[in-house]
Structure formats: C-alpha cells, structure tokens
Structure 1
Amino acid sequence: MAHVQFMDEIIREYLLFRGFGSTLKAFDSELKTDKEKSFRVDKIIEQLLLFINNYDLNALRELWSHLESHMFTKLESHFTPGVKKIRKCCS
C-alpha cells in the first residue's frame, strides 16, 4: 500500500505547489475520514474494533454497510459465505 501513500504525497505536493491551501485542507480532512483506510486491512480491522470497544453501534453499522456496498459486493463468490458468517456473528 506504499503506492497509495506515495500518490497521496504527490497530490499533496501538487496542491501545495499550486497554492490550493483550502483544497489541501479538504484533501487532508477527507483522508482522515477515509472509510476504506487506503485498503489496508489492519487499519480497517482497527477501526472496526475501535467501534466495538466504544460500543458505537451506529458507526459500526455504517462502516459495515459501506464495506458491503463498496468492497464485499466485488469479492469472488467463494468469499461470500465468509462475509455472511461474519455479518451473522456481529448482528
């Protein structure tokens, strides 16, 4: 995932070079709230566990539905039972 961080840095440098300060702030803000966490599994799991430990059911459901609609629907069919099993366990 170093390539994603590399691209983020290139974008950040470009925005800074062009003087787009407010756009850079918005970009940094969006990165902080990135639900896919740059597709880093460890960061996604960390976020899920944080919501569970904080008893934040609404945030957990929101993140899970986001992952379902943006990531799990694109999985190969043989991964579907595992996702359903995790969903059932957490419901």
Structure 2
Amino acid sequence: MENMKYAEELVREFLFFRGFTSTLQSFDKELATDIGKDFHKDKIFDLIFSLYIPKFQPDNLISLLTFFKQCFSSSETLLISTLSKLEISILRYYIVNCVKLGRNDKIIEFFKVYGDDLMRKDQDWMIWSGIGYMKNPNLDPLFRVYFSKEWFDALNLSVRNFLSEIFNGNHILC
C-alpha cells in the first residue's frame, strides 16, 4: 500500500506542476471517496463483462488482460498460470457472446486481428476460428459447454475469485 501512496503523490505533484488545478481537485475528491482508496474488483469485472464483451471491444479486453500479465513478477507463477487460463476462457466467452448476438462479423474481425497470435500460443484456437461459419455451434459437441449457463457462471465466479485474490490479497499490482 506504501507504493500506492507514493504513486498518488507523484500524480498529485505532476498535476500541480502542470497547473491542472481542477484535475487535481477532482483527483483529491475521488481519493477521498471509497472509489479512490483501492482497486475495485467489481468495477474491473464490470469492465470485462458489461462493457468490453457486450460492446465488442476486444482491443480493450486484450489490453486489460495484457496489463495484468505485465504486473506480476516472474515468481508469481501460480497467478500468471491462472490468469492465462482465465484469458482463454474470457476470450472464448467473447466469441460465444458474438455468436449468441448473431455478430459473426465480429468473430471474423477478431480472428483477423488476433488469430495468428492466439494460434501460435495454442492450437485449439484453430477450431475456434471456424465457429463464425457454423450454423449452430451451440449444438456442436466441441462448443456446447461454452454456451451453457453453468460454464458462464463458473467463469464469472473464477474471474471474481481471481480479482479478489490479486486485489484483496498480498499482491500489489505493478
């Protein structure tokens, strides 16, 4: 938490030095509320599941996940491994959401931009890249589980637990 206070002081100093007095006042006001005191896992969860996925913003989604990866030290292998697994599931949910909403164009766009990188990491993405061309992927044995409420609920719980661990545990990001 000491690092957080130091970072806040650096931001304050920068805003003061640049003459951004109204921004400084807003910053201080937000810090005084609960919102500014620490990370809020619910806000990050909502960013993922209420904004980035439903609004078809894979760039922001992947940037957020990449940011988290960069924040862990190499000694935190369990957290890095967990995050990598969650990343795969979150991206799969993004694709499932596109299918459910009939936005196959977003799936095709997603794989044009990120497909090569994903397939280099894991060959399972090759199968996923064809989901946008299938008539009823929710009936296909390879994909059926990802369309179930149980899988989605498990993903939600896993993401919430992960965020709780990193923000309420002894892990200070970056």
TM-score when scaled to structure 2? 0.31
CA distance, structure 1, for counterparts of residue 66 and residue 25 of structure 2: 24
CA distance, structure 2, for counterparts of residue 61 and residue 68 of structure 1: 11
Q: Deviations over 1:13-34 (max 9, x none)?
A: xxxxx8x8624416747x7xxx
Structure 2 gaps, min length 5: 31-37, 92-174
**Contact 2:69–2:80 (8 Å) recurs in 1:** no
2:20 aligned to 11, 19, 22, which one? 22
Pick closer, same or farther for the CA change 1:27–1:57 going to 2, 3 Å.
farther
> Which residue is equivalent to 1:58?
59
CA distance, structure 1, for counterparts of residue 25 and residue 62 of structure 2: 25
> Which residue is equivalent to 2:90?
90
User: Are 2:40 and 1:40 aligned?
Assistant: yes
CA distance, structure 1, for counterparts of residue 68 and residue 79 of structure 2: 14
TM-score when scaled to structure 1? 0.52
CA distance, structure 1, for counterparts of residue 25 and residue 47 of structure 2: 20
> Which residue is equivalent to 1:77?
77
**Size of the alignment, in residue pairs?**
75
CA distance, structure 1, for counterparts of residue 26 and residue 69 of structure 2: 25
The one of the two structures with greater contact order (alpha-carbon pairs below 8 A, sep at least 6) is: 2
Structure ranking higher in helix proportion: 1
CA distance, structure 2, for counterparts of residue 41 and residue 78 of structure 1: 19
- The ranges of structure 1 where at least 4 consecutive aligned residues each deviate by more than 3 angstroms after the TM superposition are 26-29
CA RMSD of aligned residues (A): 4.0
- The amino acid of 2:47's aligned partner reads Q
Q: Deviations over 1:29-77 (max 9, x none)?
A: 7x7xxxxxx422111111111111111111111111112112xx23732
Q: Which has the larger radius of gyration?
A: 2
What is the aligned-residue identity percentage? 19
CA distance, structure 2, for counterparts of residue 57 and residue 27 of structure 1: 33
